[in-house]
Amino acid sequence: MAFQWSVLYFLVLLQVSFTPIFAGSSGEEEFSEELLLRPLPDRKVLAHFHFESRAPPTEIYGHHHRLFPKAIYQLVQKFQIREMELSFTQGRWNYERWGGFNPITSANAKPPGVELWAILDVPPDQVDASWKNLTHTLSGLFCASINFLESSTAYSSPDWAFQPSSRSLRYGALPREAVCTENLTPWLKLLPCRDKAGLAAILDRPSIYRGFYHSQRLRLTSTEVGSEKGMESGIVLEQTLTIVLEPDAQRPNTNHLGGRVLQPSWSLRSIFGREISGRCVLAKYSTVFIEVERNLVSELKKLGRRRGVAEIASDSWTDPFFDLSVTPDKTIKEMNVTHGDSSSILYEFSTEKYLDYEPFDVGLTWKLPVVWSSPQAPFRASRFLIGSGNQRGSIAISLKSTEPGEGFMSDLAREGCTVRVDVFQVVPWYVKVYFHTLQVFVDGRHRRVTDALEKIHVSPSEDKVSPGLMEMVLRFPCSMKSATLTIEFDKGFLHIDEYPPDANQGFDIPSAVVRFPDFQASTYYLKDNSRKSALLSKFQEKNLLLSYTEILLVPLATPDFSMPYNVITITCTVFALYFGSLLNVLRRRVGEEERFLKEASMRKGMLPQLLSKLSAKLRGKYKDSPQSSSSSSSLLNPKLMFKVALVAGIAVGWHYYFE
Amino acid sequence: MKPRMMAGSSGDTKNPKIKPRPIVRIGIFLISHSIVVSLLCFAAGIVALILLPLFAKNTYISENALMPGSANSMLSSQDVKEANKLVKDIIGLKLSSEEARIEIPRLIAQHMADAGSEVYYHKFHPQMSQFYPLHFFSGSPNSGNIKENHSCVSHAINTVGIIRAPRGDGKEAIVLVTPYNSEKVELGEALSLALAYSIFSLLTRVTWLAKDVIWLAADARYGEYASVTAWLRDYHIPQFSALEKLDADICFESGYPHEQNENQIRTDVISRAGTMAAGLVFKVVDKHKETDKDTLSIYAEASNGQMPNLDLINIVNYLAVHRQGLRVKVEKLYFLLDSVFLKIVGDVLETIGKVARSLNARWEFGIPVADYIDGAATLASSMYHQALGVPTGSHGAFRDYQVDAITLEISPKVSLNNEVRILEFLLRGGRLIEGTIRSVNNLLEKFHQSFFLYFLTSPSKFVSVGVYMIAFGLLVVPLPIIAASLYCDANVLDSHCIKEQQKSGPASTNEAGIAFQSWRWLHAAKVVLVIHLWGAIVSLLPYLMYQFPEMTPTTSMLSWGLLSIASLLFLHQILGSPYSCVTVNQSPNREWAVLKSMMIAAAGIGLGLMSIINFATAQIGALLIVPMCLMVHPLKHVYRAGRLRTLAVTACNISLGFIGFPPAAFLFLKAYSEGLGSVSAGDFWNWVESLWAWNSATYLYLGHEGYRLKHCRHGHCQGGQNQRAGEQNDRYRR
């Protein structure tokens, strides 16, 4: 006992003596929690939780952490992860209604199911092995079947279209993975306060899973390993949870067919069923933002001008259009560079001053009806299947300009202006894509593929070994209204044991990723904020504009799974018949048989002779009995018939008697 | 194989000690008793067919995931009231047909958008019914489009709304279809739109939705099938070519409903919602016929006798009967209900059933007469519609894309004139459809558990493929047996001839003669092939005739007939008489036997193949063709027999040939069902045209059957034309 105490004491001493030395040089571990709320045009509310943990580099700080989750630290150390992103998503992000041109969308709109990519800082020949181990570890960590990404048919290594990155990137997606609270709980466990305090405490499971979109994401960036060793940032763990909720189930009154309907008012309590009772004490800061979108602001301005109201939200917190139930601590305006005259507004609330008996419950009450639409990406990408039947089909990716009329960005649409679109598509091997059938239609006209295609990288699928991968850089004129890419495929046959459970559901083709590298989804804010915010700095980072397409369901020819049994039975029967008769023919010696028959007829005993005579008599053909007994009439032997009838009669009688 | 065996055994008869193997003996037995066996089999086949209603099993829900009726219905009277407003709005639109064409889609789209769904208009032109000769083989439906000049007025507008399932992944969709005639909306159509709207607005709020829901308000100006097909084609096989786009641009201004409000309703794109899991077409029919319950009629037959999965019908039937208390009907042939024959059969069966039960209480196979007659009439209708290959509603369009779909036709028990009645009716119908959608929504896999090949004998009883195959098998079995026995007989006859020749003539030509003999069937095969070729030409002729438009059905029919005969003469001239190579030493007896056996073999193979494509057609075809094949006998040989027999056989042959000849059969049936007055030659043309329009394989079959019969007739007239001995054989073709 004494020994243990002494060891502990020693350790504490060590800790105490070492920590101050490095704390001064490279900072402490940090944890911050932030929540962003944004009203959406279709009467819903977006809630985006952002938790960030930072650990200083190991070289300076050592292996022991107070805040940073040990599981993640070990993960990084073991698999030499430079970057990793894992997302669990339920529902689809509605790009048209919820916007496609902002940092939250491009980073947090993920395809349904599980998506995982990682850049591993190991020698190229060990990347695959490392990836497989990583999938298993994550699978255990998050209670999900991520281990299915281990198989080489499930993941791919994109070169440049997904992330402009090194060759050690691996990408895999599981579109069918069901996401539920069992995945959320381990994710919450990585937070220092779990869901017991702070912002995470309002994550009431029933209300967040009742939503329209739910995406939990974990992103790791590490400078622990590889060439960038010794940089100041160490390991950064971002955990985000993006939810779209509907404040109340009340429908708009359909009497207002043409008229405008008031947007629903909401508060934290009404959408989550809980309130924030103070911050997580371990967090460096705990902030709630309410964002008023760029387009909403401009719409409000327009309305305001019409109603003779001056500039909104310049310094007054309650304006004629909506009320905030709590006075914000600060208002942050977007530093507008490109987007017209309006800029989005953030209302910042700090939760530090709220306590259990005085919880924080911010709400937004609309006073006037307003209709707006979220900013859109230049093109809306969608993907669908063409054709029917079990033999072949084609995949079509269509890009539609989101601004009706004259293409996107009419002011930029001069001659020679082109826009770059990157497409990244992984296709499972049983969908056998013919890459030469790639066709491009621009504005309803067929174009030569080489006109639109700037760069393409294709790695064809290999049956049962690796999926097909297609990375394309396309250039379209800015004035384009719509473009469609089609590519044909044949549906393959799977071996009977390669079918997954519920095979008749069909097979999924994971989402394609469409990126618009010419555009940046970043949002810059005026730098009057004294305190650094991880969320806002994230928004200001270089955010590539990207969108995911739909998952496709390909019906493949599926066997009747009771069939193998039938097939085995019938094949065995056929084989038995075939080989039996073949053997018979091969082995048979007709001459010998005849000789035996002759001998047998010579040595016929008394009884058979008598019987044959009797039967001959019965037939009335006494004389030529042996000759006339042709094979055909032997079945109609009256005696036989009589016997059969007798037996049948007895059987019926017996049966009837005993019933 | 069998003829060879027979030949072997006939050669071995000199040595009686060797007993052939049992299987060979059975073969020989069958062949030597071919007449009895085939008669027995045929009779058994017909009896089995008649007994089919007796063997019908109760339907059961095979897929456990469906769980129909396990959840409470969520459709409230509030939803129904909203929907009733739509009825009033639609009926209240006192517009000219031109305005209504635009106004009704606008109204529907407005309602869809307000319910919170994605909406778009789908514009289409009606497709002309064109005959593509080899369309059936091309696989992809409606692939050969011909672009025509359409005026902007001629297009119709489908309104489509899509609900995205809140937590679904958007891979699958359920389609609701409500056809309405935009030129003149009747109360029934307005009610079906309202029904769809009430469900649609409910589904935008529910949380259990896992599949997207598409509501297609189909503009049935050009027929409901045309509109549904057009939408499905654009959904599955979109055209990215420029022609259509230009067309759309030109017509953009005039054709689409103008939108004043902010709800942007798109016109130029088709939104998609993944792979379709099921389609439900529903219609309300205001029949003014008073019954004690609301009635639901289910139509399921799609093109070429394809049926939706039985589970789909089962859940609708279950929900309608056990949850909503509707009376469920499937189509039946009503004139069969008064059939005396069926009544007698039913009586006999009932009696037998009673006797059996009195013997042993566990033997329960008798059914009441009424049930039997009802079942038989339904079965006959089911078989008829499958055999015809023409879908019984717009659900047929879905089956072309491997989607299970049915049409539900709901008719109220009393005329819907007061509001309370309408509300009650909408609530009941809506709950039925909601329950069905909920069941399909529960499905994890696509429909695959239950039957695809079945006949219905009542909404809750079916005959599966395993049972009705027996009847078909029994009907077809005589064909190979008769063919084999004929061939063997011919060989035996031939060997007799050769023996006689050997006795009389020198033996030097013997070997070559025998070698030639064994290939003799080739000649008969050539005859059959030539006639089939002619048949193929006849069935392709209409394509030629479509090049000359503006023909009335009657003239078309006549010219078709004339062209057929002309082509026959032409073939005859070009290929020469198929019978010119007949050698001297062939007896005419042998020749007709070989020819008949070839023909029967071909018919057997044809029936077998047809049973794979469309079982019901094969079954009805077997009913017609098999007796013809069995009865047929050379007229010349019959003369030698007694006069009575001659008369009987000739009469049988001619009447069977008449009934089997498709135009004749059609006219006969029509005369039987509608009275003689309504019959005209053009009807057949119209009927056949409808078959082309639906790409029915039955057409091929009719052609197949038709040319054979024509061949038969052709034999007769040829025989009349040239009396040469060698060519007389073709009389005996049947």
Residue (of B619, B611, B455, B477) closest to B55 by Cα position: B455
Contact assignment for A632 to B275 by CB distance below 8 Å = no
What are the Cα distances from residue A556, in Å, to A392, A430, A506, B444? 10, 9, 6, 15
Contact assignment for A502 to B444 by CB distance below 8 Å = yes
Q: How close A562 gets to chain B, by Cα (Å)?
A: 11
Strands A322-324 and A169-174, sheet pairing: unpaired
Q: State the DSSP H helix or E strand holding residue B212, giving kind and residue range, or none if neither.
A: strand B212-219
Q: What is the pLDDT of residue B495?
A: 67
Residue the block writes with tokens 């589904």: B203
Contact assignment for A92 to B28 by CB distance below 8 Å = no
Non-local (6+) Cβ contacts of A92 within 8 A are A112, A213, A550, B164, B168, B169, B170
Which tens digits make up the pLDDT trace of B466-507? 888 899 999 988 888 888 888 888 777 666 666 666 655 544
Average pLDDT, integer, range B134-153: 47
Which tens digits make up the pLDDT trace of B456-475? 999 999 999 888 889 999 99
Radius of gyration of chain A (CA): 38
Q: Tell me the three state secondary structure of residue B548.
A: coil
Contact assignment for A551 to B170 by CB distance below 8 Å = yes
Residue A217 backbone dihedrals phi, psi, to 5 degrees: -135, 150
Cα gap B453→B691, rounded to integer Å: 22
Strands B156-163 and B118-124, sheet pairing: antiparallel
Computed over every residue of chain B, the mean pLDDT equals 75
The more confidently predicted of residues A176 and B243 is A176
Going across the sheet that includes B461-464, the strands are: B57-58, B461-464, B454-458
Question: Which residue from A minimizes the CA distance to B266?
Answer: A404
Cα gap B716→B54, rounded to integer Å: 43
Q: How close B32 gets to chain A, by Cα (Å)?
A: 8
Helices (runs of H) and strands (runs of E) counted in chain B: 26, 11
Q: What percent of chain B has a predicted confidence (pLDDT) above 70?
A: 66
Contact assignment for A384 to B272 by CB distance below 8 Å = yes
Evaluate whether B175 touches B217 at the Cβ level (below 8 Å). Answer: no
**What pLDDT band is residue B510 in, cutting at 50, 70 and 90?**
low
**What pLDDT band is residue A242 in, cutting at 50, 70 and 90?**
very high
Q: How close B166 gets to chain A, by Cα (Å)?
A: 5
Q: What is the pLDDT of residue A542?
A: 80
Residues of B in contact with A91 (CB under 8 A): 166-169
**Which region among A231-235, B22-26, B306-310, B721-725 has the lowest average model confidence (pLDDT)?**
B721-725
Residue B241 is nearest to which of A113, A444, A558, comparing CB atoms? A444
Residues of A in contact with B401 (CB under 8 A): 388
Contact assignment for A444 to B172 by CB distance below 8 Å = no
Q: What is the pLDDT of residue B512?
A: 55
Residues of A in contact with B172 (CB under 8 A): 553
> B648: which 2 tokens?
């009987």
Cα gap B424→B80, rounded to integer Å: 9
Which tens digits make up the pLDDT trace of B90-127? 888 766 667 777 888 888 998 898 888 889 888 887 76
The dihedral formed by the CA atoms of B636, B642, B647 and B648, expressed in degrees to the nearest 10: -110
Q: What is the pLDDT of residue B266?
A: 65
In the predicted structure, residue B424 carries a pLDDT above the cut 70 = yes
Evaluate whether B315 touches B68 at the Cβ level (below 8 Å). Answer: yes
In the predicted structure, residue B228 carries a pLDDT above the cut 50 = yes
* Amino acid (1-letter code) at residue A524: Y
Contact assignment for A388 to B172 by CB distance below 8 Å = no
Non-local (6+) Cβ contacts of B413 within 8 A are B290, B291, B292, B293, B294, B295
Q: What is the pLDDT of residue A260?
A: 65
Which tens digits make up the pLDDT trace of B665-719? 666 665 555 444 444 445 555 555 555 444 444 444 444 444 444 344 333 322 2
In the predicted structure, residue B588 carries a pLDDT above the cut 80 = no
Q: Taking the model in full, what pTM does it have? A: 0.82
Cα gap B367→B507, rounded to integer Å: 69
Average pLDDT, integer, range B225-252: 71
Residue (of B296, B316, B243, B530) closest to B412 by Cα position: B296
Q: Which residues of B280-308 are buried (b: 16+ CB within 10 A; e: fewer)?
A: bbbbbbbeeeeeeebbbbbbbbbbbbbbb
**Chain centroid, CA B644 distance in Å:** 40
Q: What is the pLDDT of residue A89?
A: 93
List, in sequence order, every residue forming a beta bridge with B262; answer none if it has no partner: none
Residue A99 Ramachandran class (φ > 0 left, ψ -120 to 50 alpha, else beta): left
Residues of B in contact with A254 (CB under 8 A): 82, 114
Q: Does B246 touch chain A (CB under 8 A)?
A: yes
ipTM of predicted complex: 0.80
Residues of A in contact with B260 (CB under 8 A): 258
Q: Is B74 exposed, middle or buried (0-12, 13-18, 19+ CB in 10 A)?
A: middle
**Chain centroid, CA A465 distance in Å:** 21
Average pLDDT, integer, range A126-137: 93
Q: How close B105 gets to chain A, by Cα (Å)?
A: 15
Q: Does B166 touch chain A (CB under 8 A)?
A: yes
In the predicted structure, residue A46 carries a pLDDT above the cut 50 = yes
Question: Which residue from A minimizes the CA distance to B241?
Answer: A444
**A179-193, A289-303, A350-364, B558-572 — which one is most confidently predicted on average?**
A179-193
Instruction: Provide the 8-state DSSP code for B207.
Output: S
Question: Which residue from B minimizes the CA distance to A625?
Answer: B16
Residue (of B168, B61, B609) closest to A112 by Cα position: B168
Tell me which long-range contacts B635-641 makes (C-beta under 8 A, separation of at least 24): B635/B731, B635/B732, B636/B588, B636/B728, B636/B731, B636/B732, B637/B589, B637/B592, B637/B732
**What pLDDT band is residue A637 in, cutting at 50, 70 and 90?**
confident
In the predicted structure, residue A219 carries a pLDDT above the cut 70 = yes
Residue (of A24, A16, A29) closest to A56 by Cα position: A29
Q: What is the pLDDT of residue A367?
A: 81
In the predicted structure, residue B212 carries a pLDDT above the cut 70 = yes
Evaluate whether B53 touches B379 at the Cβ level (below 8 Å). Answer: yes
Q: What is the pLDDT of residue B637?
A: 55
Q: What is the pLDDT of residue B689?
A: 53
In the predicted structure, residue A639 carries a pLDDT above the cut 90 = no
CATH class of B64-331+392-445: alpha beta
Contact assignment for A257 to B245 by CB distance below 8 Å = no
Q: How close B117 gets to chain A, by Cα (Å)?
A: 11
Which tens digits make up the pLDDT trace of B600-652? 888 888 888 888 878 888 888 888 778 777 776 665 555 555 666 667 766 76
Contact assignment for A91 to B167 by CB distance below 8 Å = yes
- Sorted by where each begins, the domain ranges of chain B are 16-52+470-733, 64-331+392-445, 332-389
Contact assignment for A601 to B17 by CB distance below 8 Å = yes
Q: Does B272 touch chain A (CB under 8 A)?
A: yes
Cα gap B281→B229, rounded to integer Å: 13
Q: Does B70 touch chain A (CB under 8 A)?
A: no
Q: Does B237 touch chain A (CB under 8 A)?
A: yes
Tell me which long-range contacts A559-566 makes (C-beta under 8 A, separation of at least 24): A559/A496, A559/A499, A561/A496, A561/A499, A561/A503, A564/A496
- Sorted by where each begins, the domain ranges of chain A are 52-282, 402-554, 623-659
DSSP H helices, A502-562, are: 534-540
The more confidently predicted of residues A154 and A542 is A154
- The full DSSP string for B23-59 is HHHHHHHHHHTHHHHHHHHHHHHHHHHHHGGGGPEEP
Q: What is the pLDDT of residue A214?
A: 92
* Amino acid (1-letter code) at residue A68: F
